[in-house]
A and B are shown apart, each in its own frame.
Chain A
Amino acid sequence: MKAQIVWNTWRRILRDETLQATILANKGNLSGKLEGFSAAEIEVIEAYADDYDQAKWFVENYQFRLVNSFINALETGAPLSLRALMAKQVDLPEFSKKFLRDHEWRDYGPYVYSYCKDVIIWLTKEQQALNLDDAIIDLLALEEKSVDLYLSLRDGVPSDDKATTADIVTTNMSMVYQSKHRLSDWLRRKSDLGKTELDTVCENYLVVLPTLTARHKYSLINKRSIELITTPPQDCNQLDTPSLQVLDKLISLNALKRREDHA
């Protein structure tokens, strides 16, 4: 048996609950029960079927680890949402199993931000079925921005546009999120996460990495900040004093920077 065929076929068994059930129900008599497999793959499946009492431990362990990995994904990319969900006493292992069945027991491995992003998308899509309130979904969306930020920097910080003549350019290390609730109540008092009701008020957040090695931060920003981030000023001399103060703040937060050859 070629090792790579064994490994790839074994991975299919690990992930496919229908195939596992077929093996379990037809041990010793699998011929004709397996469709869409090559002869070499069937040989592998039969080998595992012969010792399925042992192999089932591999499968059970795999599923147990994956169920826990759902929580790890949230802890890595959306720790505030995880805390809020725990405060709401939702059944996270049950959520995890539903998610994993929807995603065919996929092992995301070290791609934890992608995993977290898919979990957030799924929780949002299943909001009604999972009975999640709007404020939690809002918090998930805020944290999704931080996940997007990390994912966008996966290959490093994009280079500055060489053609630009602007005084100020983006660092490419921040994103903006507009909430539908006063999330700041929860961000300021983490012990309230998921426990208190939030007003339906729009807030603007800067999601930013202060440095490439630091953890991201959230800062409440005003409308002028968003304008400056969206359209960095070409000529700082054209800005009034309040705008210059806002600009300085955004530079100190690492959302914007002065163009390197234009100090």
Chain B
Amino acid sequence: MAMITKPSPIGVGIQYNPEILDWFPFESLKVDLLEILLDNIMAPMDGPQIIKPGLADLISKLGENFTLLAHSNYGCDFGFSPLETTSAVQRHAPLAKMINSPWVANHCFYGDNSWLDIWSSPIQFSNDEIVRCADRAAQLQDIYGMPLAHENAAYYLPCPGAEMKEAEFMAKLVERSDTFLHLDLHNIYTNSVNLANYDLKDYLDTIPLDKVIAVHLAGGSWAEGIYHDWHDSQVPEPVWDLYEELMQRATPAAIILEYQGQAHHELTRVMGEQDENMITTDVKRAQAIWDRAMANKKGAK
């Protein structure tokens, strides 16, 4: 088993989301990295190809100007089907290598040969699942041959059978698996707004901050009395506060902002060209916080 370590800091970037591709000028944005959604570039599992025809050239061109980060949504990392049958192994692992990604990240959801039930199925925060998921994660990281980071999820309801808080589960998971964390600060905020007994304040105190490879920043919307992680608005202030605090206490390798279309619900606001300024303003604010924090860390040495 190869020794896998946390990469050095890269900088700030944005998710290359196909749902806003027709109006958002990704290629001209001044950022260090683009997060590539592997599920959007992978060819179907019931065909002969790894990457969709025609996309290899596009990805290669993007790679000339940006560091490309592999992000998986539907790898089925924590499902119950044999690991070797998953998209993670059959498609994402070769694709992550193809784009020269320094690591790969995926969410903490269940999924078995599926895509769309995944967002509705957070994993159970139980002791048995720490063992099962961690052992599976360790095996998968070895197959990837690069750091594997687990992203904390936003959810309307925890999976029944939970025995601990999410932050405690994440901490124990990576302790056992020797994998890493992809910290979605907006998901933490969203859960703290919607869920009783979900503590925003002690989250960063509970997880091993040295294991945080990457960070997601995003915004959401209120609908029918619930706050939704729909990535359809600017990053809210409590998330900026959390980001500032994290940067004082940890050194992630990348910060990624997320914006998307109407992926999950018809009540999601559909963004358009008028939102370009909102996104670039968020990106610049994230970069300023990053630059200041990195300068402080340099000065402290």
Contact = CB atoms under 8 A, between A and B. Distances in A.
Interface of A: 1-4, 6-7, 10-11, 14, 44, 47-48, 51, 54-55, 57-62, 64-66, 68-69, 76, 107-114, 150-151, 153-157, 212-215
A47 B42 CA distance: 36
A61 B56 CA distance: 31
A213 B49 contact: yes
Contact of A112 (B44, B51, B129, B161): B44
B267 to A, nearest CB: 9
Interface residues of B, number: 46
Nearest to B76: A109
Given A6-B124, A109-B116, A153-B48, 17 more contacts: A1-B124, A1-B161, A3-B123, A3-B159, A7-B80, A11-B121, A14-B117, A58-B119, A59-B120, A62-B119, A65-B264, A107-B116, A109-B113, A109-B115, A111-B46, A112-B44, A154-B47
Given A3-B132, A113-B47, A154-B48, A65 B114 contact: no
B266 interface: yes
B45 A212 contact: no
Given A110-B44, A110-B74, A51 B157 contact: yes
Contact of A1 (B116, B119, B155, B160): B160
Contacts of B51: 213
Interface of B: 39, 42, 44-49, 51, 53-54, 56, 74, 80, 87, 91, 110-117, 119-121, 123-124, 126, 128-129, 132, 155-157, 159-161, 194, 226, 228, 263-266
Contacts of A66: 116
5 shortest interchain CB distances as A-B pairs: A1-B161, A58-B120, A47-B160, A215-B53, A112-B44
Given A65-B119, A110-B113, A54 B157 contact: yes
Contacts of A48: 157, 160
A54 B155 CA distance: 9
Contact of A10 (B121, B128, B132, B263): B121
A77 B159 CA distance: 35
A64 B266 contact: yes
B159 A57 contact: no
B126 A3 contact: yes
Contacts of B80: 4, 7
A150 B46 contact: yes
Contacts of A1: 124, 160-161
Nearest to B129: A3
What is the interface of chain A mostly: helix, strand, loop, or mixed? Answer: helix
B266 A54 contact: no
Nearest to A66: B116
B97 to A, nearest CB: 16
Contacts of B114: 107, 109
A99 to B, nearest CB: 14
B157 A55 contact: yes
A157 B161 CA distance: 46
A64 B264 CA distance: 6
A55 B194 CA distance: 12
B49 A212 contact: yes
Contact of A57 (B54, B113, B124, B226): B226
B157 A111 contact: no
Nearest to B263: A65
A76 B44 contact: yes
B74 A150 contact: no
Nearest to A45: B160
Contacts of A112: 44-46
Contacts of B74: 109-110
B113 A111 contact: yes
B129 to A, nearest CB: 5
Contact of B110 (A7, A65, A154, A212): A7
A7 B110 CA distance: 7
B156 A54 contact: yes
Nearest to A72: B115
Given A3-B159, A110-B87, A154-B46, A61 B113 contact: no
A154 B85 CA distance: 13
